[in-house]
Amino acid sequence: MSLSVKDLSVSKQFYEKFGFTILGGSMEQNYLIMKNENALIGLFQGMFQGNILTFNPGWDENGKNIEQFNDIREIQEHLKTEGVDAGTEIDKKTTGLASMMITEPDGNMILIDQHR
């Protein structure tokens, strides 16, 4: 889950009370990725409006590469066959980094963001 926060410092302190610790990002970059066991949240100040459900193909819950995963282009093709509008199409001839934004039926945003 990627949360749009008003004050990164206040949000950091709040989630630390629930046992979350910093996994990535920095205060200077205006975002933190925080982890509590297998739960991950991203805190983002001034980067986007609203909250976003985020998936990162190719990474585990620690942000480490996993060997086998469905490439974002495969996910895109599957969603197309299911009739889901995945926005701007990712070129199937490319590899590696890519992302897509999808709006679900209630207007919530879903980000599929592949970093490798």
pLDDT in tens, 66-108: 999 999 999 999 999 999 988 889 999 999 999 999 998 778 8
61 vs 31, more confident: 31
CA distances in angstroms from 3 to 34, 70, 91, listed in the order given = 11, 25, 29
CATH 3.10.180.10 occupies which residues in the chain?
Answer: 51-58+66-116
State CA 11 to chain mean position distance: 18
Please report the beta strands in the chain, taking only residues with DSSP state E, as ranges in sequence order.
2-5, 21-26, 31-36, 39-45, 52-55, 98-103, 109-114
pLDDT in tens, 32-73: 999 999 899 999 999 988 899 999 999 988 889 999 999 999
Instruction: Please name the helix (run of DSSP H) or strand (run of DSSP E) that holds residue 76, with its range, or none.
Output: helix 72-81
Say if domain 1-50 classifies as CATH 3.30.720.120: yes
Pairing, β 109-114 against β 52-55: parallel
CATH 3.30.720.120 occupies which residues in the chain?
Answer: 1-50
Q: What is 51-58+66-116's CATH number, 3.40.50.720, 3.10.180.10, 3.30.390.30, 3.40.50.300?
A: 3.10.180.10
> What radius of gyration, in Å, describes the C-alpha atoms of the chain?
15
pTM of the entire predicted model: 0.76
